[in-house]
Structures are given as C-alpha cells and as structure tokens.
Chain A
C-alpha cells in the first residue's frame, strides 16, 4: 500500500458525459501527478500540482482539467467524454516538487 488513495476504482459512463476522479496523496506529500494509461498509448503524464499550484503540464486535453485543494487532495475532471478516453487513470504523489513518486491504485474509466 503506497498510501495514495484514488476513488472511484471503476467508472462506467457514456460518451458526452463528465466525470470527476479523486486522489488523496500520501501524508506529507505536497506534489500530486496525474497519468493516463491506455492500451495504445502506454503511460502518459497529464499534469502536476505542487502545494495547490499547477507545476507542470503534459499531454492533457482541453476537455480535461485538474485542481489541488488546500487539504492537498486533487481532482481530475474529464468532460465531453469520448470512447478514446477509456483508460486507467493514475495519481501519484511525492514529497517535493521533484522526487520519487508513489502511485495510487488507479481508476479504470470505461466510456461506452
């Protein structure tokens, strides 16, 4: 158990809908990272927050947004969902702006 929690574990929704994925980092970690793992693209970095501020941005679609709250938990919002958004979404955390990352169990999103 890495200490990083993600909810929900599984999510099934229809095209065009909006969902919110939630992540709580390890106690004491200030950075939260979001990753997408799809069958054809592998693991891809989406975005990083550090202590509430956006720190780095990767291949995140405009339909996706994220934020980190004062209690350091983070949410990833996915809207206007398409079939191709079906993937595993992982959250990871680290103590500082840079360092060893600890991964949550992931949320499996299926868009039908």
Chain B
C-alpha cells in the first residue's frame, strides 16, 4: 500500500463543473503539496499547506491533519485545467523529502 493515495485516478468532467480530488496519507506529515503536471511534462506548485484551507483563484485546497486527508477543489472547471494533479507529503520521519501520490488525470471537456 502506498503511503500517499489519491482518488480518483482518472476524472472526466464537463466545462463548468465543480471538481474534487482527494488525497489520503497513512503517516504523520508536517505539510502537503498539491502539484499540477501539464501534458508537456512541466510541474507547477499549486499549494503547500499544513492546516486549514488555502484559495488561489478557482482552486481551493483543504487539509485535515487528524484525519490524514486533503482535498483539492476546482470551481467552474475549464478545459485548460486538464492536467495531472499530484499530492505530495513531507513525512515527519523524512524531513524535506517529498513522497508522492500516483496522480489524478483530469480531463475537462468543452
């Protein structure tokens, strides 16, 4: 079992829909990263959070440390949101190294 699990693995939505991607982890963490990987391969950092909620434009990330769960929400989705979304954690036992989930492939159709 992976230490970081994401669901769903694949998600197809229609433009305008509200999207949720989930991340669960089995170890104690100090913080969590949400990353976006474009079809061309580049990786963009969306959020780093250790508690509560962060919002940037149409993206919202939440984390519940006690429940070992984080969610990434996209409001009013758009075809340009199509990408792989990756959850990565800083495990308390591993310091600054990131441990990655397998990613969620999101496709938003017009």
A interface, CB within 8 angstroms of B: 2, 31, 33, 35, 42-45, 48, 55-56, 58, 88, 90, 92, 94, 97-103, 105-106, 108
In the complex, residue of chain B having the shortest beta-carbon distance to the beta carbon of A58? B97
Q: How far is the CA of A31 from the CA of B41 in the complex (A)?
A: 22
Q: Which B residue's beta carbon lies closest to that of A98?
A: B96
Q: Within the complex, what minimum Cβ distance (angstroms) separates A3 from chain B?
A: 11
B27 at the interface (CB under 8 A from A): no
Which residues of B have CB within 8 Å of A48?
Answer: 96-97
Question: What distance in Å separates the Cβ of B13 from its nearest Cβ neighbour in chain A?
Answer: 23
Q: Would you call B25 an interface residue if the criterion is a C-beta within 8 Å of the partner chain's C-beta atoms?
A: no
Query: Chain B: interface secondary structure?
Result: strand
Report B-chain residues with C-beta under 8 Å of the C-beta of A98. Answer: 30, 90, 95-96
Chain B residue at minimum C-beta to C-beta distance from A90: B43
Mark contacts of B44-77 with chain A using CB atoms, 8 A cut-off: 1 yes-contact digit, 0 otherwise: 1100100000000000000000000000000000
Are B43 and A103 in contact, CB atoms less than 8 angstroms apart?
A: yes
Pick the contact of B100 from A43, A94, A108 — CB < 8 Å?
A: A43
- CB contacts (< 8 Å) of B94 on chain A: these are 56
Query: Is the CB–CB distance between B96 and A56 below 8 Å?
Result: yes
Q: Which residues of B contact A56 (CB under 8 A)?
A: 94-97
B contacts, CB < 8 Å to A: 30, 33, 35, 41-45, 48, 86, 88, 90, 94-100, 102-103
Residues of B within 8 A of A108 (CB): 41
A43-B86, A98-B90 given; A103·B45 CB < 8 A: yes
The complex places the Cα of A94 from the Cα of B94 at a distance, in Å, of: 16
CB atoms of A101 and B45 under 8 A apart: yes
Q: A42-B102, A56-B95, A97-B96 are in contact. Are A103 and B88 (CB under 8 A)?
A: no
Q: Which of B41, B90, B95, B102 has the most CB of A within 10 A?
A: B41
